[in-house]
Amino acid sequence: MGSTLETVVFYFLAAFIIAMSIMTVTTQRIVRSATYLLFVLFGTAGIYFLLGYTFLGSVQIMVYAGGIVVLYVFSILLTSGEGDRAEKLKRSRFLAGLFTMVAGLAIILFITLKHNFLQTTNLVPLEINIHTIGNALLSSDKYGYILPFEAISILLLACIIGGIMIARKR
């Protein structure tokens, strides 16, 4: 029963993510697009929770759904006028996007069908304490994450400053 319920929840979350992703890229209103992106990120966090990755699911909600989407909405509202709509898509761009999508799908199917996925058995969950996670996140050695964290923080700061400069020109 538990396996069936997990499968149903997984397929529901997958369908939800696919539907919200399509709505994200097809809507005419940019704020609605950011809202649909928020739902995609919540669905992804739901899959993390379903897999038992509670820490990763929590980080997904706090960092991406909580921080990045708020930054997107802030930037959108700071730089766009009231009622801004996306421009109508030209036929050539639509066909180029459709071709890219089909090519990407073909590559994904090729890789999925050619790869021999091996079934692993007797995987014992490894408990890692918060001290180890903190050291890994803030270390600057080979497997540390301080350099990517600093690079992303500088990128986000540049985006905020760019948005403010664009808004000030009006």
Domain ranges of the chain: 1-99, 127-169
The correct CATH number of 1-99 out of 3.40.50.880, 1.20.120.1200, 1.25.40.80, 3.30.390.30 is 1.20.120.1200
pLDDT digits (tens, 9 = 90+) for 6-46: 999 999 999 999 999 999 988 888 888 889 999 999 999 99
pLDDT digits (tens, 9 = 90+) for 54-76: 888 998 898 888 888 888 887 77
Task: Give backbone dihedrals phi and psi of 86, rounded to 5 degrees, phi first.
Answer: -70, 145
Question: Helices (H), strands (E): how many in the chain?
Answer: 7, 0
Proportion of the chain above pLDDT 70, given as a percent? 94
Cross-strand partners of 85: 29
Give the other-Cβ count within 10 Å of 53's Cβ.
Answer: 14
Written as one letter, the residue type at 154 is: I
This prediction has a pTM of 0.61
Residues 6+ apart with CB under 8 A from 32: 23
Written as one letter, the residue type at 151 is: A
Q: Is the pLDDT of residue 1 over 60?
A: no
More confident residue, 83 or 168: 168
Written as one letter, the residue type at 128 is: I
Residues in the chain: 170
Predicted pLDDT at 83: 56
